[in-house]
């Protein structure tokens, strides 16, 4: 078994697979998926708790906000390497990345440059020898700031094999400790990725002293398959995201890869640090933060992933779950039973259920969530786990400067809808009444009257958390102002209240973006 020393991980063996999560960097580049500093920090701490070996926190040179996010994550997060992205030939990229991770317990600079003929000719407008020089100087500059340096060959899967070998050799010689060969545009097949990594391991001097990494996009739906093939070729770091979010069609999904490694250990005899029972909680945290749910049939974390409707399947599962389930729901964080508490349940039972679902709330948050649960239980015949998750996620979200208090709506077919709303703005009660073309429009007009702003409603989407006419509604609202997009989410048994909660959440996020240039500004 091959062993070597790595600056962040010490002595490592060939059966160890490292999980490099890029949800906060590549994942956040998905349209509408941007997060503020507080949301990024909360996700980073959850990723560290999950067991991610490396957390790519952002691209510090891209903006002041990205730099602050990476720097704060580096200060706070423990147990995972905090990584900052940089361009190999960027004017200040590597220096700024080094500054951002300066206070990390363990920090990494990840720099990249394109190596394919197409990218070098049309994107970089550089000759191959110039690219080789930049790889060398970039690695040396990064090594002056940290011992843990990763270099990526952008569009590596479409790079000529001989030139790719030369690039990797140059990067290793200049001090890179991890080499990433990304399928940047999702073009490769599993056979391609296995061949590329096998070639590099066999041909490049020094290949046995670095970790090879796979970063596969999902444009052809092959992200996970290409990642598994990369492992067969010799890669030992997997770059992936929660729920598979990312540029265009997204990245290889962390939860899918991990459960393949766990379920098919006979085919992939590797070890990793991921605590799989926390996968569902993190998936839901990301959905709540970004306002985008995963599709019901999504592997591992979709709500139908362990659902059985066919009578034949149900009969088999009742007799022996292994007949139709290749993994247990509990192994990824699902509860065995989805039918839970009711209106007669007490605070202790509610707290125990939250613990089973992976939530730990302070006293004030618990009191607020319990009050909403009791209200929901009075209105719903059956309260499911998903109902509780939705209301708790909505309650524990930071309300920041604007808080929803109450809503009264009068609507019907004979007169315009009218909504009377109470909000708390910076601790002060504000009330407004407005009419509109339906109850939701009236409620949104009331918000704009109580808290004037110029943001445009770019998206309004409603879905049911569970089944039935008494199901909770989960609403997503997207606001746009001066090119800034923010998404808010809310949940409630009343669809209009759910919409108002989502709108207020989005408005609070917009205030955070404004505060960087107008610290004291309220919507105007």
Residue 215 is assigned to a ligand binding site: yes
d(CA 83, CA 50): 17
Strand, coil or helix: 106:
coil
CATH of 402-515, one of 3.30.160.270, 3.40.50.620, 3.40.640.10, 3.30.460.10: 3.30.160.270
CATH of 311-394, one of 2.60.40, 1.20.120, 1.10.1670, 1.10.238: 1.10.238
Strand, coil or helix: 65:
helix
| CATH 3.40.228.10 for the 14-290 domain, yes or no | no
d(CA 57, CA 461): 29
Question: Domain residue spans in the chain?
Answer: 14-290, 311-394, 402-515
| DSSP string covering 195-233 | HHHHHHHHHSTTGGGSEEEEEEB-TTS-HHHHHHHHHHH
pTM: 0.78
Residue 505 is assigned to a ligand binding site: no
Q: What is the pLDDT along the chain (524 residues), one digit of tens a residue?
A: 578 899 999 999 999 999 999 999 998 887 777 788 888 999 999 999 999 999 999 999 999 989 999 999 999 999 999 999 999 999 899 999 999 999 999 999 999 999 999 999 999 999 999 999 999 999 999 999 999 999 999 999 999 999 999 999 999 999 999 999 999 999 999 999 999 999 999 999 999 999 999 999 999 999 999 999 999 999 999 999 999 999 999 999 999 999 999 999 999 999 999 999 999 999 988 987 887 778 888 999 987 777 654 455 556 656 777 776 788 888 888 876 555 577 777 888 888 878 777 777 888 888 888 888 888 888 776 677 777 877 777 665 554 689 899 999 999 988 899 999 999 998 899 999 999 999 999 999 999 999 999 999 988 988 877 777 777 888 888 888 887 777 788 888 899 999 999 999 888 888 876 664 443 333 33
Residue 469: both structure tokens together = 């006419």
Residue 26 is assigned to a ligand binding site: yes
d(CA 186, CA 208): 27
Q: Under a CB-based contact definition with an 8 Å cutoff, are residues 115 and 155 in contact?
A: yes
Residue 508 is assigned to a ligand binding site: no
């Amino acid at each position: 078994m091959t062993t070597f020393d790595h600056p962040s991980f010490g002595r490592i063996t060939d059966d160890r697979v490292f999980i490099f999560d890029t949800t906060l960097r590549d994942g956040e580049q998905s349209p509408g998926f941007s997060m503020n500093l507080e949301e990024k920090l909360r996700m980073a701490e959850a990723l560290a708790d999950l067991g991610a070996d490396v957390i790519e926190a952002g691209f510090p040179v891209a903006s002041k906000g990205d730099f602050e996010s990476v720097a704060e994550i580096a200060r706070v997060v423990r147990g995972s390497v905090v990584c900052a992205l940089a361009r190999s030939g960027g004017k200040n990229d590597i220096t700024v990345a080094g500054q951002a991770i300066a206070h990390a317990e363990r920090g990494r600079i990840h720099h990249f440059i394109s190596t394919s003929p197409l990218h070098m000719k049309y994107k970089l407008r550089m000759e191959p020898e110039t690219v080789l020089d930049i790889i060398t100087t970039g690695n040396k500059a990064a090594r002056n700031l940290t011992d843990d340096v990763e270099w990526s060959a952008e569009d590596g899967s479409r790079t000529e094999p001989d030139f790719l070998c030369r690039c990797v050799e140059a990067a290793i010689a200049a001090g890179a400790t991890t080499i990433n060969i990304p399928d940047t545009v999702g073009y490769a097949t599993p056979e391609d990725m296995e061949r590329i990594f096998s070639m590099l391991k066999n041909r490049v001097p020094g290949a046995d002293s670095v970790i090879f990494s796979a970063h596969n996009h999902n444009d052809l739906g092959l992200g996970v398959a290409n990642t598994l093939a990369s492992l067969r070729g010799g890669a030992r770091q997997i770059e992936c995201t929660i729920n598979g979010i990312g540029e265009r069609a997204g990245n290889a999904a962390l939860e899918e890869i991990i459960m393949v490694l766990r379920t098919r250990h006979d085919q992939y005899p590797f070890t990793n640090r991921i605590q799989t029972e926390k996968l569902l909680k993190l998936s839901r945290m990301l959905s709540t933060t970004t306002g985008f749910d995963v599709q019901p049939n999504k592997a591992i974390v979709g709500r139908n992933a362990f659902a059985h409707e066919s009578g034949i399947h149900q009969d088999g599962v009742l007799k022996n779950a292994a007949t139709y389930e290749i993994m247990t729901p509990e192994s990824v964080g699902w509860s065995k039973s989805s039918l839970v508490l009711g209106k007669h349940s007490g605070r202790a039972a509610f707290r125990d259920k939250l613990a089973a679902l992976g939530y730990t709330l302070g006293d004030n948050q618990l009191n607020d969530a319990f009050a909403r649960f009791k209200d929901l239980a009075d209105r719903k015949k059956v309260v499911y786990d998903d109902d509780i998750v939705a209301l708790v996620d909505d309650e524990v979200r930071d309300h920041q400067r604007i808080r929803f208090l109450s809503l009264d709506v009068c609507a019907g077919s004979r007169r315009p809808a009218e909504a009377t709303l109470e909000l708390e703005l910076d601790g002060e009660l504000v009330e407004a009444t407005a009419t509109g073309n339906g109850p939701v429009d009236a409620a949104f007009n009331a918000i704009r009257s109580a808290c004037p702003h110029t943001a445009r409603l770019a998206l309004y989407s409603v879905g049911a958390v569970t089944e039935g006419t008494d199901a909770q509604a989960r609403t997503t609202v997207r606001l746009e102002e001066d090119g800034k997009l923010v998404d808010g989410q809310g949940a409630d048994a009343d669809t209009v209240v759910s919409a108002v909660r989502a709108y207020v959440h989005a408005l609070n996020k917009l205030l955070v973006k404004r505060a960087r240039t107008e610290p004291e500004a309220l919507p105007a």
